[in-house]
């Protein structure tokens, strides 16, 4: 194909051709993906421009601006009444109970795994002779 024929390919055609031919595949795949990305970005921009011109997006942006302007008042109302909660005390109590229970279980398990001393005398002298 000539250079003029390459310029006339649409991005999806270039992508499919790049997947088909392995010799020029990586170049065509890259050019096809970039072309598809640019086409979709352009279509998105055109759609946003049309929505803005029709007034729909303009109204949505105005509503968003009003919501942002009222945000400090909403935050102040939400944080104004500091209520006392007993939740941190309950959580601390539960954590202490769990730790105490874990310590008891650990000591019981450790005692049960210790070997009991043998009632027989040792087979080797305990104190070595010089």
* DSSP code string of the chain: --HHHHHT--HHHHHHHHHH-SSSHHHHHHHHHHHHHHHHHHHHHHHHHHHHHHTHHHHHHHHHHHHHHTHHHHHHHHHSS----SHHHHHHHHHHHHHHHHHHHHHHHHHHHSPPPPSSPPSS-SSPP-
The domain limits of the chain are 9-79
Between 29 and 12, residue with greater pLDDT: 12
Q: What is the pTM of this model?
A: 0.30
pLDDT digits (tens, 9 = 90+) for 55-82: 777 788 888 888 888 877 877 777 766 6
- Residue 41: the pLDDT is 92
Residue 53's pLDDT is 78
pLDDT digit string (tens) for 84-113? 667 888 888 899 999 998 888 888 888 777
């Amino acid at each position: 194909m000539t250079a003029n024929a390459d310029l006339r390919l649409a991005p999806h055609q270039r992508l499919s051709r790049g997947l088909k031919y392995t010799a020029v595949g990586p170049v065509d795949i890259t050019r096809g993906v970039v072309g598809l990305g640019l086409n979709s970005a352009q279509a998105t921009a055109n759609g946003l421009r049309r929505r803005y011109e029709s007034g729909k997006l303009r109204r949505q942006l105005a509503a968003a601006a009003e919501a942002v302007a009222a945000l400090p008042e909403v935050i102040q109302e939400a944080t104004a009444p500091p209520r006392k909660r007993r939740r941190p005390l309950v959580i601390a109590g539960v954590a202490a109970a769990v730790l105490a229970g874990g310590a008891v279980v650990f000591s019981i398990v450790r005692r049960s795994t210790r070997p009991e001393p043998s009632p027989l005398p040792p087979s080797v002298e305990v104190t070595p002779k010089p």
